[in-house]
Amino acid sequence: MEQRAEPRRRGRPRGANRDDTKARILEAAAAEFGERGYEGASIRSIARRAGVDPSLVHHYFDDKSALVVEVVAVPLRPDRLVQGALDGPLEELGARLVRTVLTAWDNPAVRPAATAAMRSAIGHGPVARMLREFLRREIMHRLAGRIADQADAELRAQLAASQLVGVIMLRYVLAFDPVASMSDDEIVARVAPAVQWHLTGTGPVLDSASVRAHNSSHGE
């Protein structure tokens, strides 16, 4: 008499420890992102590939963004950083975005992995595709949502992001002076106006440190 297979139990597989289960989920996530991209992969499909219940994936990882961050081994959540910068007065958004990026990349515990991820994002292959889709969905779409009253919000968000990516590339990836040697305050003073203009078509509101840095660089 043919025996029926037992249904898969919810939760952690029997006999598996936490590290093994988490590693298997990450391996499945990397494979799903590689085949389907960030947008095409889902928590359910990752759980199915890992042989676990979707609730267990959520037990270890808050969401799909958290899986990406662990797959590429970057010790920060870019989506949360951007979301934090989006909170506050709109007229100060450009300055907050620039300073948030600089603060994150100035962290020596973050920079090597973040630099490697940036290089991967501008390359070819499944990892590059995953990272580009992640950046578009979790960062640019959030930024566009903050200025949703603008008819061309998506374009404005991309142009603003181009300024931030340019600073990252010159300052941290290529390490070109004088940009690489400038203080954060001076970078904010010089770049935030362009970011703010792209977002809202208006000038920025800078903090006092950035104003002093800007005035000092112009001999005022």
What is the chain's pLDDT, residue by residue, as a tens digit (220 residues)? 444 444 444 444 454 567 788 999 999 988 888 888 888 889 999 999 999 999 999 999 988 888 888 887 777 788 888 889 999 999 999 999 999 999 999 988 888 888 888 877 777 777 788 888 888 888 899 999 999 998 899 999 999 999 999 999 999 989 999 999 999 999 999 999 999 999 998 765 656 655 565 556 555 5
Q: Do 124 and 54 share a structural domain?
A: no
Specify the pLDDT at position 17: 65
Specify the pLDDT at position 4: 45
Number of structural domains the chain divides into: 2
Question: For the whole model, what pTM was predicted?
Answer: 0.71
Q: State the Cα–Cα distance between residues 120 and 130, nearest whole angstrom.
A: 10
- Dihedral angle sign, alpha carbons of residues 152, 146, 194, 110: negative
Specify the pLDDT at position 209: 59
- For residue 10, being part of any structural domain is answered with no
Specify the pLDDT at position 108: 87
Q: In Å, how far are 93, 120, 122, 136 from 113, measured between CA atoms?
A: 26, 10, 15, 19
Task: Tell me the residue range of the domain where 43 lies.
Answer: 18-64
Using only the alpha carbons of the chain, give its radius of gyration.
21
Maximum alpha-carbon separation in the chain: 91
Q: Do 165 and 130 share a structural domain?
A: yes
- For residue 13, being part of any structural domain is answered with no
**Pick from 188, 213, 212: which is nearest to 93 by CA?**
188
CATH number of the domain to which 133 belongs: 1.10.357.10
Specify the pLDDT at position 199: 94
Q: Do 87 and 59 share a structural domain?
A: no
71-74 CB contacts, 8 Å cutoff, 24+ apart? 71/26, 71/29, 71/30, 71/33, 71/130, 72/113, 72/116, 72/117, 72/120, 72/127, 72/131, 73/113, 74/110, 74/113, 74/114, 74/117
Specify the pLDDT at position 125: 76
**∠ Cα 96 97 103 (to 5°):** 85
Specify the pLDDT at position 170: 93
Q: Do 179 and 111 share a structural domain?
A: yes
The answer to whether 65 and 134 have CB atoms below 8 angstroms apart is yes
